[in-house]
Structure 1
Amino acid sequence: MSRLSWPRHVARWLLGLALIGAGTGHLTTQRQEFQAQVPEWLPLDKDFVVLASGVVEIGLGAALIALPRQRRTVGWVAAAFFVAIFPGNISQYVTRTDAFGLNTDQARLNRLFFQPLLVLWALWSTVAWPKPRGKRD
């Protein structure tokens, strides 16, 4: 397996740390804020969803940092996670729910455009996305 270029290596670590931080928030001080993003139509207890997704985020963040040999697989799993939680962001926008300082429609709309960037960040930083042959990571 080829070595990761330093920008990708740093980006992978930053994403891992961000996920660990967000996951810790799910389990502690930001639990209610995260519950505001759980769609009403989801047939699960909001607190359970927040706690479970927090555990997943911490695990993904740790895996991004601690498992460099499995980085492609972890990158795809992280990208899938970001896609899976996107309906919560859409729900927050549609229901006009305030959380995390997103207290205007424009702020909630702007946030929707950040989620695809997280997907791309996970794929790019782990070289999970296919690249042309002969190109350096």
Structure 2
Amino acid sequence: MSQTNTVDRSIYQTGLRILLGAFLVFAGAGHLTWHRTEFLAQVPTWLPINADLVVLLSGVVEITLGLSLLFLKSKQVQVGWVVALFFVLIFPGNISQYMNGISAFGLDTDRARLIRLFFQPVLVLWALWSCGSWQDFQAKRKS
């Protein structure tokens, strides 16, 4: 890959990492304040923990992960894996919202809730690519 392509990719990765970090901080703040009720709709009923506690704790985790994406540049590869894992771990909440037909965040039809499920893998890939986590994994595999 040429030096120009590497620099371009780095600029895009950095920009998308910052955008994802800001998104997580914003979403985490929403967990703790104005969107708390909406996030309650995504907590699976089978989870043996108080749903409001889950919303509050996941909000704190999202803020922490978002700030890590924004400020832990030296650890971005590891942060990318942790953020990707977080998106995988919260996916059952999205599935529960779809399976139980719970409306929240404007997702008021089965079709809208189903389409939303396909965006979770995009978030996982976004975290891995924007932090260079996937590229690091590939490079270590080749060596």
- TM-score calculated relative to the size of structure 1: 0.93
If you compute each CA radius of gyration, which structure gives the higher value, 1 or 2?
Answer: 2
* Unaligned residue ranges in structure 2 (runs of 5+): 1-5
Q: How far is the alpha carbon of 1:130 from its aligned partner?
A: 3.2
Q: How far is the alpha carbon of 1:64 from its aligned partner?
A: 0.3
Q: Could you list the structure 1 runs, at least 4 aligned residues long, displaced by more than 3 angstroms after superposition.
A: 130-133
SS for the counterpart of 1:101 is coil
Match of 1:100 in 2: 105
Please give the per-residue CA displacement for 1:76-121, whole angstroms capped at 9, x wherever unaligned. 0000000000000000000000000000000000000000000000
- Structural mapping, 1:8-19, within 5 Å: 8-19=13-24
CA contact (8 A) 2:129 2:135 kept: no
SS for the counterpart of 2:42 is coil
% identity of equivalent residues: 58
Rounded to whole Å, the distance in 1 between the matches of 2:120 and 2:58 is 16
* Unaligned residue ranges in structure 1 (runs of 5+): none
* 2:85 partner letter: A
Q: How many residues align?
A: 132
* 1:30 partner letter: H
Match of 1:123 in 2: 128
- TM-score calculated relative to the size of structure 2: 0.89
RMSD: 1.5
CA contact (8 A) 2:13 2:130 kept: yes
